[in-house]
Amino acid sequence: MTGPSLRIPPAWADGLLAAALLVICEAEVIATADARDATSLAALVATAALTVPIAWRRRAPLVVVCCVMAAVVSLAAVVPWFNSLTSPMFVLFVPPYSVAAHERRRPALAGLAICLAAAVVVNLLHPDGLSSVLFSTGMVGASWAVGRALRSRRRLADELHRTARRLAAGENGREQLAVADERTRIARELNAVVARSISQMVVQSDAARRLLAIDRARADAAMAYSPRSPGLARSRR
């Protein structure tokens, strides 16, 4: 017998993810900006704006996409040593996945367009060759595609679950109808048995009443005789 499984609520999981990304990104910014005090404060603020909205990635995916992409463009515009940072680039793959997995088609496509535009702008601000552009846009597109595929799979699983519940309800209804039919049949047979027994009792009583004045012994025998009906015999067997 296994105990209850520990499951973290989605809101808490997103909050923990945002907190972990905030700590990692801020730690890298602090470590990288030792000798660059002029831009370190702006980099810290932009990094916080980049990671904190992840806590609402399921509840408002498109808004999170706009906030995160605006923050990463601001970080790239303010910090000249942006290319030396690694962790903020990995944060960029979370919003496209979230908007694809938790939004309808049109908002999801709008989120994808915003993410791709932000990736292109960042590469224009800090050009690092065509391979960097292809990598960033390709990873954004791949993250979005994975989120969309998981959304379709989740919707299919929900539909199958609803169908299974409907089938189970229908099967239960059929079983109840079968039980009701069986009870009706048994009640009908019992009524027939009782009716035949009463009619035989009436006939025997009438015959005994007529014989009473003629032959008292035969009248007593008629009253004592109690034949079993076929239905009653079957029910007793």
Do 47 and 75 meet the contact criterion of CB atoms below 8 Å apart? Answer: yes
**Residue 174 placed within a domain:** yes
Same domain, yes or no, for 51 and 133? yes
Residue 35 belongs to what domain range?
A: 10-160
Tokens 């801020």, located at residue: 26
Same domain, yes or no, for 146 and 178? no
| CA-wise closest residue to 123 among 140, 144, 110 | 140
pLDDT at 207 over 50: yes
Do 11 and 54 meet the contact criterion of CB atoms below 8 Å apart? Answer: no
Q: How many domains does the chain have?
A: 2
Sign, CA torsion 98/104/107/110: positive
CB 61: neighbour CB atoms within 10 A?
22
Q: Which of 196-200, 209-213, 222-226 has the lowest mean pLDDT?
A: 222-226
Do 75 and 25 meet the contact criterion of CB atoms below 8 Å apart? Answer: no
Same domain, yes or no, for 58 and 115? yes
**Residue 78 placed within a domain:** yes
Tokens 């998981």, located at residue: 150
- What is the per-residue pLDDT for 21? 92
- What is the per-residue pLDDT for 177? 76
**Residue 4 placed within a domain:** no
* High-pLDDT (> 70) share of the chain, %: 81
Same domain, yes or no, for 85 and 55? yes
Same domain, yes or no, for 45 and 142? yes
**Residue 3 placed within a domain:** no
Give me the chain's average pLDDT, please.
Answer: 80
Domain end call among 103, 138, 160: 160
Instruction: Give the span between the Cα atoms of 75 and 116, in whole angstroms.
Output: 17
pLDDT at 83 over 50: yes
Instruction: Give the span between the Cα atoms of 144 and 101, in whole angstroms.
Output: 8
- What is the per-residue pLDDT for 218? 65
**Residue 63 placed within a domain:** yes
Same domain, yes or no, for 124 and 218? no
Torsion of CA 190, 195, 201, 202, to 10 degrees: 170
**Residue 72 placed within a domain:** yes
Same domain, yes or no, for 112 and 144? yes
**Residue 2 placed within a domain:** no
Same domain, yes or no, for 178 and 154? no
Tokens 């970080």, located at residue: 75
Instruction: Give the span between the Cα atoms of 71 and 79, in whole angstroms.
Output: 12
Query: CA angle, corner 182, sides to 236 and 166, nearest 5?
Result: 150
Domain end call among 95, 128, 160: 160
**Residue 113 placed within a domain:** yes
Residues 6+ apart with CB under 8 A from 80: 39
Same domain, yes or no, for 132 and 23? yes
Sign, CA torsion 68/71/76/77: positive
- Kindly state the average pLDDT of the residues 168-194: 77
Same domain, yes or no, for 66 and 117? yes
Same domain, yes or no, for 142 and 73? yes
Domain end call among 135, 160, 185: 160
Model confidence pLDDT, tens digit, residues 27-76: 888 888 765 556 778 888 888 999 999 999 999 999 999 999 999 998 88
Instruction: Give the span between the Cα atoms of 172 and 167, in whole angstroms.
Output: 9
Model confidence pLDDT, tens digit, residues 94-120: 999 999 999 999 999 999 999 999 988
Instruction: Give the span between the Cα atoms of 67 and 83, in whole angstroms.
Output: 21
Q: Which residue has the higher pLDDT, 4 or 55?
A: 55
Same domain, yes or no, for 125 and 220? no
